[in-house]
């Protein structure tokens, strides 16, 4: 962790986003945020109190994330999306003891969870993952009937829910998503009492018929939009801003260059600040010569290639800027040129990748 790189996290923004999401979902539907990869890089330990207060449960990817939440004293619903059958038996058994609901997406996963439950002399709650068209994890509709039968016969397994995942819920044309939804619902046993869920953020906002019994919002919880056409549907507040400090200022004569490959040439005598952040910290190399940062509210262009742990910005037009001044790398203003979403557009990637990468080396702190 680099203490001179700070991610400032707003719990009030997360609370606002959860309240806005709650306004959209159908009455009685459980709101369970996805907190995998350290809350998409925003910091699970910092945001846990707010999330636990305003959500109905947690969705995690890995066993370690589930056990981390239990270590905070949380006793409610946790769904682990990835089974622990490739982990050591101690982890499998601890998930059972901690009453974490596990995903079963294959016969092998079912056998692993059932074996751990038997060793613990307990019954394991599970949700069955059905692949309705994502082509990733989950049993197909044709495989599901046999697995439902095996689950019903196993005394150490309690099937409490079933879910699927949409491949293109952000597409304005919802035809394929509804094909997936229908495949999923048709696969389930008739007159079942299962918790059914399918909706991620885009489906939650755009398609109320996908809400079913539980929704799984992800990046929207932290204030980011993924699909532009959904922006007008909900008022989200980004919860993270990222700051560094200027560590050096150089005078660069006209005609000189900055960075590897000499990709930026100064066309006038220039004043350049060195900022200690780079692609090793999650600030993408593809932002070289394109992105903007803010210093005292003034825009400064990234000039030259972004290095592993340094980059240079042109401050020629801002003579008042000095060594030690704070640099806003990412703004919590969604309209700013250095917002997560705008940086993702420049880097030809998605906001998820920006926040997940930026969250790893930075010191996280709550600001409210």
pLDDT in tens, 152-184: 999 999 999 999 999 988 888 889 999 999 999
Q: How far apart are CA 294 and CA 284, in angstroms?
A: 17
122 labelled catalytic: no
Which of residues 307 and 358 earns the better pLDDT score? 307
Percent of the chain predicted with pLDDT > 70: 98
**Phi, psi angle pair for 136, to nearest 5°:** -130, -125
pLDDT for 135 equals: 93
Catalytic residue from among 4, 72, 260, 363: 260
Please give the domain boundaries of the chain with CATH numbers for all domains.
Answer: 11-224 (3.20.20.10), 240-331+333-366 (2.40.37.10)
Q: How confident is the model at residue 87 (pLDDT cuts 50, 70, 90)?
A: low
Per the CB < 8 A criterion, the answer to whether 240 and 222 are in contact is yes
Span 226-245, pLDDT tens digits: 767 767 789 999 999 999 99
Cα dist. 208→133, 178, 183, 327 in Å? 20, 12, 17, 41
- Helix (H), strand (E) at residue 230: none
pLDDT for 311 equals: 98
107 labelled catalytic: no
Q: How far apart are CA 186 and CA 192, in angstroms?
A: 12
pLDDT for 170 equals: 85
């Amino acid at each position: 962790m680099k203490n001179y790189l700070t991610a400032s996290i707003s719990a009030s923004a997360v609370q606002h986003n959860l309240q806005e999401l709650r306004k959209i979902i159908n009455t009685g539907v459980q709101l369970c945020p996805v907190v995998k990869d350290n809350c998409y890089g925003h910091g699970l330990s910092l945001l846990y109190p707010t999330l636990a207060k305003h959500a109905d449960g947690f969705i995690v990817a890995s066993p370690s994330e589930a056990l981390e939440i239990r270590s905070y004293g949380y006793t409610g619903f946790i769904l682990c999306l990835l089974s622990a059958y490739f982990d050591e038996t101690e982890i499998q058994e601890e998930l059972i003891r901690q009453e974490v609901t596990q995903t079963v997406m294959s016969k092998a996963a079912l056998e692993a969870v059932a074996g751990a439950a038997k060793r613990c002399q307990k019954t394991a709650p599970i949700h069955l993952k059905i692949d309705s068209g994502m082509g990733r994890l989950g049993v197909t509709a044709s495989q599901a009937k046999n697995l439902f039968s095996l689950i019903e016969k196993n005394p150490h397994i309690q099937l409490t829910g079933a879910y699927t995942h949409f491949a293109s819920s952000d597409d304005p044309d919802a035809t394929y998503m509804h094909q997936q939804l229908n495949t999923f619902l048709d696969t389930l046993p008739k007159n079942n009492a299962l918790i059914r869920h399918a909706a991620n953020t885009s489906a939650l906002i755009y398609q109320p018929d996908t809400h079913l019994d539980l929704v799984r919002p992800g990046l929207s919880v932290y204030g980011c939009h993924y699909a532009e056409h959904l922006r007008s549907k909900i008022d989200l507040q980004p919860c993270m801003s990222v700051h560094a400090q200027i560590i050096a200022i150089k005078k660069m004569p006209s005609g000189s260059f900055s960075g590897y490959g000499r990709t930026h040439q100064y066309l006038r005598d220039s004043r350049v600040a060195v900022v200690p952040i780079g692609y090793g910290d999650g600030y993408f190399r593809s932002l070289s010569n394109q992105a903007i940062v803010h210093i005292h509210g003034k825009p400064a262009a990234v000039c030259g290639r972004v290095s592993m742990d340094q980059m240079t910005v042109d401050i020629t037009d801002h003579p008042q800027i000095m060594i030690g001044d704070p640099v806003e790398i990412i703004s919590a203003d969604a309209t700013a040129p250095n917002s997560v979403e705008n940086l993702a557009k420049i880097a030809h990637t998605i906001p998820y990748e920006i926040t997940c990468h930026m969250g790893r080396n930075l010191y996280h702190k709550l600001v409210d």
